[in-house]
Amino acid sequence: MPPSTTPLSRYQRQMLFFGLGEAGQRKLLDSIVVIIGCGATGTVLANHLARAGVGRLRLVDRDFVEMTNLQRQLLFDEADVTAGLPKAIAAERRLRQVNSEIEIEGVVADFNAGNALELLGDADLALDGSDNFEARYLLNDACLKLGLPWVYTGVVASYGMTATFVPDGAAGKVGRAVTGCLQCLLGAQPSADGATCDTVGVLGPVVSVLASITAGEAMKLLTGGGDLNSGLIHFDIWDNSFAQFQTAGRKSDCPACGQHDYRFLNAESGSRSAILCGRNAVQVSGNPTPPDFARLAERLAPLGEINHNAYLLRAMIDGYEITLFPDGRAIIKGTENPDLARSLYARYIGS
């Protein structure tokens, strides 16, 4: 059912709020939002926006559901782990049960320089549900180039932060003032040694708090109402501290929004390998030709335990867990050595 003809009765309590009303609800229904990453923050964001009636959600994630995700990634359950589902597919299935009257598209892909503009090109808003700053800096570049507003959310341990960005080309569309960008806020280079959920852990409730603030920013951007976060919000659930810092704003010498040097977007797309921090795993980008899972499973069967479904193939061989996706990517657990990971990929999957 097209968003413009979707019944509004299910959103009655939301529309009673003076800042939204029927006009705001119809704007939500006519909107397209892309969420990059469908883990802890991404699932909370997607859950809120699906229930709020955003007309089309695109969920982009490269990974699959594991048991350790269930403590904080609210759209998944043990059945998804057993079925070996990619996060984007499991989230899409769950959200279709939540709201069958909107469009939900799960995209199993690595967000990279080669596909960023295509994934974001028709969107009204992008939201950060990723778990690394390489993806965030790329998202920043792509949104600047497209004139697309986006919201950053980062959570680790017991604390998190969120910031809202409105680039030049988006200001007129959303009726908001132009802001600085992620590079203005955090510098020109992603941190290489920052804490991650895989190294210092994370508490589920703080994820929900920060992602909920971001979802509220999304609703304000899409409807044109309310006051946006004009700086950086920081919240720590363990010491019960909440602060909103005013930032310096847009910097004229910023390489990204000031000089339009989109080096993350212009980087070589689809690097051959990337270490997945804290997981003892490496992602390897292989042949983009869709693999024949059934044929490959038959070939690998004598070497170890092989399972596959429509979304991935998983092989346990020589102490390594190799998970292969339809786009040719593989996540290889049991090593943080990119050379070894590429060698294992070539040996068992093919170059």
Identify the CA nearest to 97 among candidates 118, 72, 75: 75
Please give the full DSSP string across 87-130, using - where no structure is assigned: HHHHHHHHHHHH-TTSEEEEEE----TTTHHHHHTT-SEEEE--
For residue 161, which phi and psi values (nearest 5 degrees)? Answer: -140, 155
Strand partners, 56: 32, 103
**Burial of 150 (C-beta count, 10 Å sphere; 0-12/13-18/19+):** buried
Q: Which residues of 297-322 are buried (b: 16+ CB within 10 A; e: fewer)?
A: beebeeeeebebeebbbbbbbeebbb
- In the set 38, 197, 254, 257, the catalytic residue is 197
Q: Which of 85, 44, 83 is nearest to 63 (CA)?
A: 85
Alpha carbon distance 171, 165 (integer Å) = 10
Active site residue 197: yes
Instruction: Give the residue numbers marked as catalytic.
Output: 197
